[in-house]
Amino acid sequence: MSSCQETQKCGSPQDLPEYLFRELDDFIEALPTKEGHLITALHKAQSLFGYLPEEIQEYVANAMNVPVVQVFGVVSFYTFFTMIPKGKHPISVCMGTACFVKGADKVVDAFKNQLNVAVSEVTEDGKFSIDCLRCVGACALAPVVLVGEKVYANVTPDQVKDIIAEFA
């Protein structure tokens, strides 16, 4: 769980805790060199804050002595990075071909209905968010759902309520 989620301050950049910026500074200062470590710094920033809004991207750019456009390019290119806050328990549904053919779209709809949020949104209590992934490389387990790092295989819409209950 990221510190941002622990403090319940993931909603807007002005709410980001100052101590997390200090922790990010300490991490960047401890790098052997700034050159070639932009992705490393961004991984740390996202683990601290839970996501990478514009304010954090600018902060990392300044700390790493690179243009903001370069940071944005990296953040928008790599699907691991997100500019949108995630819930305490992020739900990711694989939408690769095997998963889709076996009903992943219906599983997504079941999560949306149970949690009353759309894809890329966070529940009002901050506990859950829903995202779709291109492929998790576990086609034999299709459809696949990840909640945080926990993997669920052969998921049906009927199982969604029980999956949510495990984390509620």
Ligand-binding annotation for 4, yes or no, is no
CB contact at 8 A, 104 and 134: no
Gap between the Cα atoms of 106 and 125, Å rounded: 24
CA distances from 50 to 113, 154, 159 (A): 24, 28, 27
The arrangement of strands across the sheet holding 128-133 comes to 128-133, 89-94, 145-147, 150-152
Q: Is the peptide bond before 143 cis (omega within 30 degrees of 0)?
A: yes
Q: Please choose, from the candidates 120, 110, 127, the residue with its C-alpha nearest in 3D space to the C-alpha of residue 161.
A: 110
99 belongs to an annotated ligand binding site: yes
Distances (CA, A) of 135 to 3, 73, 95, 98, 144: 28, 22, 6, 9, 9
Q: How many helices (H) and strands (E) does the chain have?
A: 8, 4
Q: Which residues are annotated as a binding site for [2Fe-2S] cluster?
A: 94, 99, 135, 139
Q: Which residues are annotated as a binding site?
A: 94, 99, 135, 139
